Amino acid sequence: MRRRWIRKSSGKAVGSVPDKEKGKTALPIITDKQKLWAKYFVDTGGNGTKAAELAGYKGNEGTWATTGSENRRNPKILEYMRQVYGWDEAPDIADGKEVLRFYTRVMRGEEKDAFGLDVGMADRIKAANALDKIVNAGKRADGTTATGGGFQLTIQPVYGAPPDEDDDADEEGGGSNDG
């Protein structure tokens, strides 16, 4: 049997039961403290530890971090944040096109630094090199595409390592019979 909590003021059941009249889903049932945590979580840009502290959870930095982590994984709280605050974590992560656009703006001098000054030439060159690596990843100098998953194996000599067996034969005179 499923229980529903009744609000004393309105007498209506509250829960994640669909509202038949409007076709919307009611807000998930969470505590007032969890609602405060959700508000502060959104206000602080996703800082669960700070949100737990501001919401009035008791404890110290460690317990606030644990509470923030638990609340962040709680599906009811996440659904509440989506419905009330429009919270979605996906926009926080840049996709490949956004990274390419940023590097392009830096390379062209269209971006400013934290102080509002133009980006220096060294940073523009670094952005151009990074952009080149991303765009031309897996391409060889002759224009053909490299295979093997986009990685390259470079073998470099190790100083102090024993010589190969073939090198020993050449050094001892075993490589030629000139006599």
State pLDDT tens for residues 51-94.
999 999 999 988 999 999 899 889 999 899 988 888 776 556 67
Model confidence band, residue 18 (pLDDT cutoffs 50, 70, 90): very low
Q: What pLDDT sits at residue 90?
A: 58
Q: Do 165 and 119 have their domain in common?
A: yes
DSSP 34-102: HHHHHHHHHHTTS-HHHHHHHHT--S-HHHHHHHHHHHHH-HHHHHHHHHHH---SGGGS--HHHHHHH
Q: Do 114 and 56 have their domain in common?
A: no
95-111 pLDDT, tens digit each: 778 788 888 888 898 88
Element at 5 (helix H, strand E): strand 5-6
137-175 pLDDT, tens digit each: 767 666 665 555 555 556 566 666 556 665 555 555 555
Is this model's pTM higher than 0.85 or not? no
What's the domain count of the chain? 2
Token couple for 37: 């945590």
In a domain? residue 10: no
118-135 pLDDT, tens digit each: 888 899 899 888 888 888
In a domain? residue 38: yes
Round to whole Å and give the CA distance between 66 and 131: 39
Round to whole Å and give the CA distance between 58 and 51: 12
Q: Do 105 and 86 have their domain in common?
A: no
Contacts 24+ apart (CB under 8 A), 123-128: 127/103, 128/103
Query: Which CATH number fits the domain that encloses residue 24?
Result: 1.10.10.1400
